Chains A and B, each alone.
Chain A
Amino acid sequence: MTSFLTARRLLTGTAIAALVVTTAACGGTTRGEEETAADAGAGASANPDADIPSGLAIAFLPKQLNNPYFAVADAGGERAVQEIDGEFSEVGPTEASASSQVSYINTLTQQGADVIVTSANDPNAICSALDQARAGGANVVTFDSDTSPECRDLFINQATPQGIAEAQIDLMSEQIGGSGQVAILSATANATNQNAWIELMKSYAAEAHPGLEIVTTVYGDDEDEKSFQETQGLLQTYPDLKGIISPTTVGISAAARYLSGSEYKGRVALTGLGTPNQMREFVKDGTVTAFALWNPEDLGYLAAYAGAALAAGQITGAEGETFEAGELGEYTVGADGEVVLGDPTVFNADNIDDFDF
């Protein structure tokens, strides 16, 4: 057993040495390097003590470039990559459509990226491209939006759906005094994560806050104008509406802007998932009391560390394995290769100025 371990360590060491040499020699990445990295990473069993090799090529592929949320997440990833002395890169489409990420994954595969960290625009559209990338030796980590579990090694979940649902229902219940009509303003009708949260919100409200009556769910398609019109429709259709929950950043900020300029300001409560920068104005003018979100920077940071741990062979993605994620501490891999970041942060007038994203 010991001899096997030492042999493995030796092998890992050689692989890392080879990797460092090739990186130094070429100043870029080649196919040969990627295979050795794959040998080191995708071994049959995990070695929690393996060191993270320097010079790992870690590529972030967000849903969309220039999207403020992903810009913050990628910045967190870049910080983590610098800490482990790797090579960070960020590529991605300018449009968040289902198929737009495929060509970027193909390019990364050809360039021999060690780790691809991505947030999927569609759970299935990028699967075959990711399979090719993994066959070519890359480790695939998804964050924010998962693919089908068999197409990736790990999924970094921003929060458990249960945690997100409970936080929003608790916030709403507190703001409207525990009873009244509440409506939900979602993104698109077929957004997987939104629908999962909404189902959990309904069941949690029914058991923990029976006074809350969730009257309807409308869809703003993550467009400003449409979210405005749906908010307006809600207030017209339900004259007794006490609150709106919008579990999408576009929806909540559109609804906040609508409420702040209307006669309903202060009369109808609003909470949900939003970014502090978008919501600052409306928390300060009293339209919104409190809302929640995880910290996207930590999400990207954790995803980068998870990818590095995979590439180093510390973990393989099996349930129960643990790894260190820099300043965030130790994380454990859950069922289906999921790692949960933690509970969402609640933002209100007292702490909103501490955040900038």
Chain B
Amino acid sequence: MTTTQQTPTGAAPAAAEARSRRGTALAHRLFVVRELGILAALAVLIGVTLIANPRFLSGQNLRDLMLSAAILVVLAAGQTMVIITRNVDLSVGSILGLSAYATGTLLVDRPGTPVLVALLAGTAVGAVCGLVNGAVVAVAKVPSLVVTLGMLYAIRGLDSLWASSSDRLQVNAADLPSGFKSFGGARVLGVPVLFLIAVAVVLVIGWYLRSYRSGRELYGIGSAPEAARLSGIPVGRRVLMAFVVNGALAGLAGVLYAARFQTLDTTAGTGLELNVVAAAVVGGVAIAGGTGSAWGAALGALLLTTIGTALPQLGLNPFWRDAAVGALIIAAIVLDRTLTLRLAARLRGRNLRGS
């Protein structure tokens, strides 16, 4: 539909191109700075915990950490795609709950269902929810905050209705087929499979956002929606796609939740959406859109999970966890703002010299 995109822009001056390349390099360095910051925080946290408890890096503990992080990592990677377009999806906790319950029901009714089919079914449930979110946001042009807030309640309500009318309020470990339960604890070379799935999701989303034209266009939409529209980017379609992918990933996370917790009722994933947004923001994904990466968000999720795991082992009062997460969010926003201002100042400087 948008064939005009391919039209060459004419004779672009070589100087301008070089300048924009330098600008890109600078922006790229900022990504690296952000991500290194989280990595440093993670290293400090692990270091301190390790001094207090030398067994923190034992095999069992690391595996538990990876298992705990897997679900949040998948959700954070999906949320990144949406936030980059200057939108937000608050319905992911409810989508996860619906998908987990749907998967549980499927597995109880048909115990022979292969794990792969369960994964696909949960993902499909999530994609449908994401499609509704995306369609309302992109077509009806309603702010995503309101749409997904509405969907948060609507999907949870649907989940409750389904559970109460089907007379199965809770799916328990004893009801689930053993094949699926062993998938929850399965390992490859000592690494939990759930974590490997999460890593694969992050790699694919990160690579797509970085290297694909449509992926880059998401950043353009988030930086300046009007400019993106005028330059021929199909804004509606791209935003719709971001919501569908995010919904599908929330659905996938629902299956992972089912495999990990094995107790499924209608409260599964309640309140998770704010953790996801927090993970993305701590990971350097600016809530105003246009910046951030899936790897950053994944590191943010890993950092939040490590805090949750480390504080009890440091013997600290669990209430510190919330305080620590809050402090991290504020630190991430301050860092982001400072870096943005410096970037803007430097780019302005170059422009003056260049012209």
Contacts and interface: CB of A to CB of B under 8 A. Distances in A.
A224 interface: yes
Contacts of A294: none
Interface stretch (B85-93, B217-225, B261-269): B261-269
B237 to A, nearest CB: 36
A257 interface: yes
B60 interface: yes
Interface string B253-284: 00000000111011100100000000000000
A229 B309 contact: yes
Contacts of A203: none
B172 A280 contact: yes
B170 A257 contact: no
A66 interface: yes
A226 B308 contact: yes
A2 interface: no
Interface in B167-199: 169-170, 172-174, 184-185
A236 B55 contact: yes
21 contacts: A66-B163, A66-B169, A68-B170, A94-B266, A95-B270, A218-B318, A221-B318, A225-B308, A228-B68, A233-B309, A233-B311, A236-B61, A236-B313, A237-B312, A239-B55, A253-B173, A253-B263, A257-B263, A277-B174, A280-B172, A284-B174
A263 interface: yes
Among A94, A189, A239, A278, the most chain B Cβ lie within 10 Å of the Cβ of A94
A68 B55 contact: no
Contacts of A278: 170, 172-173, 263
Interface in A29-67: 65-67
Contact of A229 (B170, B266, B312, B315): B312
Interface residues of A, number: 36
Given A94-B160, A263-B60, A232 B309 contact: yes
A67 B169 contact: yes
Given A224-B261, A281-B174, A233 B160 contact: no
A236 B59 CA distance: 12
Nearest to A228: B68
Contacts of A232: 61, 64, 309, 312-313
Instruction: Tell me what chain A mostly uses at the interface: helix, strand, loop, or mixed.
Output: helix
Interface of A: 65-68, 71, 94-95, 189, 218-219, 221, 224-226, 228-230, 232-234, 236-237, 239, 253-254, 257-258, 261-263, 277-278, 280-282, 284
Interface in B215-249: none
Contacts of A237: 53, 312-313, 315
B312 A230 contact: yes
Majority DSSP secondary structure for residues of B touching A: helix
Contacts of B170: 68, 277-278
Contacts of A233: 309, 311-313
A248 B263 CA distance: 15
B338 interface: no
A71 B169 contact: yes
B295 interface: no
A236 to B, nearest CB: 5
Contacts of A218: 312, 318
A329 to B, nearest CB: 30
B34 interface: no
Contacts of A95: 270
B160 A66 contact: yes
A68 B160 CA distance: 12
Contacts of A280: 172-174
Nearest to A219: B318
A233 B310 CA distance: 8
Q: Which of A94, A229, A281, A284 has the most CB of B within 10 A?
A: A229
Given A233-B312, A237-B315, A262-B64, A65 B174 contact: no
A262 B174 CA distance: 18
A66 B265 CA distance: 8
- Residue of A95, A219, A221, A281 with highest tally of chain B CB at under 10 A: A281
Interface string B305-341: 0001101110100110000000000000000000000
Give the one of B170, B265, B309, B319 with max A CB within 10 A.
B170
A68 B265 contact: yes
Interface in B153-170: 156-157, 160, 163-164, 169-170
A261 B184 CA distance: 9
Contacts of B263: 224, 253, 257, 278
B61 A257 contact: no
A281 B266 contact: no
B31 interface: no
B321 to A, nearest CB: 9
Contacts of B318: 189, 218-219, 221, 226, 230
Given A278-B263, A280-B174, A282-B173, A65 B160 contact: yes
Given A68-B265, A94-B160, A221-B318, 14 more contacts: A67-B169, A68-B169, A228-B64, A233-B312, A236-B55, A236-B313, A237-B53, A257-B173, A262-B64, A263-B60, A277-B174, A278-B263, A280-B174, A281-B172
Interface string B130-172: 0000000000000000000000000011001001100001101
B60 to A, nearest CB: 5
A257 B261 contact: yes
Contacts of B309: 229, 232-233
Interface in B83-112: none
B53, B164, B174: most-surrounded residue (chain A CB, <10 A): B174
Nearest to B185: A261
A22 B10 CA distance: 87
Contacts of B262: 257, 281
A94 B159 CA distance: 11
Nearest to B318: A219
Nearest to A284: B174
Contacts of A65: 160, 164
B162 to A, nearest CB: 10
A227 B341 CA distance: 42
A280 B156 CA distance: 28
Contacts of A221: 318
A94 B156 contact: yes
Contacts of B267: 66-67
A282 B262 CA distance: 12
A263 B68 CA distance: 17
A236 B312 CA distance: 9
Closest 7 pairs (CB-CB, A-B):
A233-B312, A281-B173, A280-B174, A281-B174, A68-B170, A261-B185, A233-B313
